[in-house]
Amino acid sequence: MEFKETVAEIKFDNRFADQLPADSNPSKQPRQVYKAAYSRVEPTRVKAPELVAYSKEVAEKLGLPADFLESPQFVETFTGNQLLDGMDPYAMCYGGHQFGNWAGQLGDGRAINLGELVNPAGEHWTLQLKGAGLTPYSRTADGLAVLRSSIREFLCSEAMFHLGVATTRALSLSLTGEQVVRDMFYSGNPAPEKGAIVCRVAPSFIRFGNFQIFAARQDDDTLKQLIDHTITANFSHLGEPSAEVYVQWFHEVAQRTAEMIVDWMRVGFVHGVMNTDNMSILGQTIDYGPYGWLDNYDPDWTPNTTDAQFKRYRFGNQPQIGMWNLVQLANALVPVIEDVEALQAGINLYGETFGNGYSAMMVSKLGLNAFVAETDDALLENLQKVLTFVETDMTIFYRRLAELPLSEGDSERSDDEWLAPLLDAYYLPEQLSADAKSQIADWLRSYAQRVQADGTADEDRKSAMNAVNPKYVLRNYMAQVAIDAADEGDYSVVTELLELLRNPFDEQPEMEKWAVKRPDWARSRPGCSMLSCSS
């Protein structure tokens, strides 16, 4: 089959653009956009596009022809230099609460949706370019993105998927051949960096903020149209939009959001910017900005320099912020879903779903059969304490805990003998006091008794634990190593990490260098410890 014929088989069905009101002004000039769900806008052409990497799994999911993936047309398309037949590019209008305050209109300031691809299975997938240039929602920015943040987004999207966390995906990472000026830490030191574009993929990029903007403007007609479209396009299993279905829809959004955040907590992920405009209506992780994984377990850690003082979006506060954001969404839906009690029931359902899901998740991390409140509430509470006595690497701790022998007849084991298999998880083991060792050992003895009550053999427990506790996560320093190499024109580390993160639960002995604690040089280095919202 000819190449052009295979590309012609790529089909688009642009439901969002076809079913919702468009901005009548064709200008890219940043402005307030009213009574419109989106503005049609084409990507800005780039000088010298170059493909850095692509996800073979996403390409297969989309049904893209193999010859297309290796062609010049692929990188030209997914940097915005040319459009495939059927693409209808646009930027969405939305608002949002940022760090707890209403920010008004925000919108796709540097993201442009190319269209909704329909794959061979009949699934709709929206293709979105991040860093594709100016849109009416760019405000005072340029709509562009740089290589360092694009590498982080590309790798993290795929890493999260393979960790079993609901997420948007990333198809490709490309250079633009142009320089983009950024002030990385807003310190008054702007500098040129390599420009880049990521093609993001999701069934929909609709956010909480898409609904909020119309509610804030008392545009109830467009709000209802958006709700109806969202249900019809992405929640069709609930049935045709109606008063009853509206409530069921909100309840499902609440459940999905809770389940997503449970998984964040499972793998030690910190989103960093849980503004309502960064919350997907599908309950998928979206917008990978200043995110991070916990190295040492610290519920108060945030990777975002903007949040350094108040730590609103710190690791341990993410469940509460998820509920707060859902309250803001519920408030926005009141003009259409007038049953306030039913909306409150959805908020309550979020709490129940998260609470039950978190308990089940935590005991699964410990290899227990099921959560038993009588014993496990105290076991989990004490675990949080022992993880903070000294800097304890969360990822390594659970993998080492899985290897701990917990057979009968271990009552004579000393504190040091209990701790010995875990020492590799501590950043400064010499700081473990005798009292800390005693408390950790006591917790391990309680844990052993709880495992023995389940009657689980060591090998079975290890297998179960290693299926939910990853050996490899995308630590900030790892992304920075890839960024440093890419700045020098070496993209092999990006490729290596993409391959590594495809199987995060496997041992992968040839990749052991990525399974170690954060190195000392990365403790406070920019890009490894904390990041800004700068692109």
pLDDT tens for 32-87 read 999 999 999 999 999 999 999 999 999 999 999 999 999 999 999 999 999 999 99
Could you tell me if 34 and 174 lie in one domain? yes
Could you tell me if 413 and 349 lie in one domain? no
Residues 6+ apart with CB under 8 A from 381: none
Amino acid residing at 122: G
Q: What is the signed CA dihedral for 73, 74, 78, 79, rounded to 10 degrees?
A: -50
- Structural domain count, the chain: 4
Could you tell me if 386 and 414 lie in one domain? yes
DSSP string, 320-355: HHHHHHHHHHHHHHTTT---HHHHHHHHHHHHHHHH
Could you tell me if 49 and 185 lie in one domain? yes
Is residue 531, in this structure, part of any structural domain at all? no
Could you tell me if 299 and 357 lie in one domain? yes
Cα 204 from Cα 19, distance rounded (Å): 14
Could you tell me if 345 and 397 lie in one domain? no
How high is the pLDDT of residue 411?
A: 67
Of 308, 333, 365, the position where a domain reaches its end is 365
Candidates 405, 397, 421, 392; CA nearest to 470 is 397
Burial grade of 203 (CB within 10 A; 0-12, 13-18, 19 or more): middle
In degrees, rounded to 5, the angle at the alpha carbon of residue 415 between the alpha carbons of residues 413 and 418 is 65
What is the per-residue pLDDT across 184-201, written as a single tens digit (0 to 9) for each?
Answer: 766 788 899 999 999 999
Could you tell me if 187 and 90 lie in one domain? yes
Among the options 23, 219, 263, 277, which is catalytic? 277
Q: Which two tokens stand for residue 441?
A: 């050992």
**Sign of the Cα pseudo-torsion (481, 485, 491, 492, in order):** negative
Is residue 532, in this structure, part of any structural domain at all? no
Could you tell me if 292 and 361 lie in one domain? yes
- The yes-or-no answer on residue 277 being catalytic is yes
Candidates 150, 157, 174; CA nearest to 57 is 157
How high is the pLDDT of residue 323?
A: 98
Cα 231 from Cα 249, distance rounded (Å): 7
Could you tell me if 118 and 150 lie in one domain? yes
Structural domain that includes position 280? 220-365
How high is the pLDDT of residue 410?
A: 65
Is residue 307, in this structure, part of any structural domain at all? yes
How high is the pLDDT of residue 424?
A: 96
Of 299, 331, 365, the position where a domain reaches its end is 365
Could you tell me if 32 and 124 lie in one domain? yes
Could you tell me if 194 and 96 lie in one domain? yes
CA 155 from chain center: how many Å? Answer: 11
Is residue 502, in this structure, part of any structural domain at all? yes
Could you tell me if 36 and 126 lie in one domain? yes
Instruction: State phi, psi for 409 to the nearest 5 degrees.
Output: 80, 25
Is residue 530, in this structure, part of any structural domain at all? no
Helix axes 340-365, 318-333, angle to 10 degrees: 160
Amino acid residing at 417: E
Q: From first to last of its 535 residues, what are the pLDDT tens digits of the chain?
A: 345 556 878 999 999 999 999 999 999 999 999 999 999 999 999 999 999 999 999 999 999 999 999 999 999 999 999 999 999 999 999 999 999 999 999 999 999 999 999 999 999 999 999 999 999 999 999 999 999 999 999 999 999 999 999 999 999 999 999 999 988 766 788 899 999 999 999 999 999 999 999 999 999 999 999 999 999 999 999 999 999 999 999 999 999 999 999 999 999 999 999 999 999 999 999 999 999 999 999 999 999 999 999 999 999 999 999 999 999 999 999 999 999 999 999 999 999 999 999 999 999 999 999 999 999 999 999 999 999 999 999 999 999 999 999 976 566 899 999 999 999 999 999 999 999 999 999 999 999 999 999 999 999 999 999 999 999 999 999 999 999 999 999 999 999 999 999 999 999 999 999 999 999 999 888 888 778 775 4
Of 151, 184, 208, the position where a domain reaches its end is 208
Contact present, 157 and 199 (Cβ < 8 Å): no
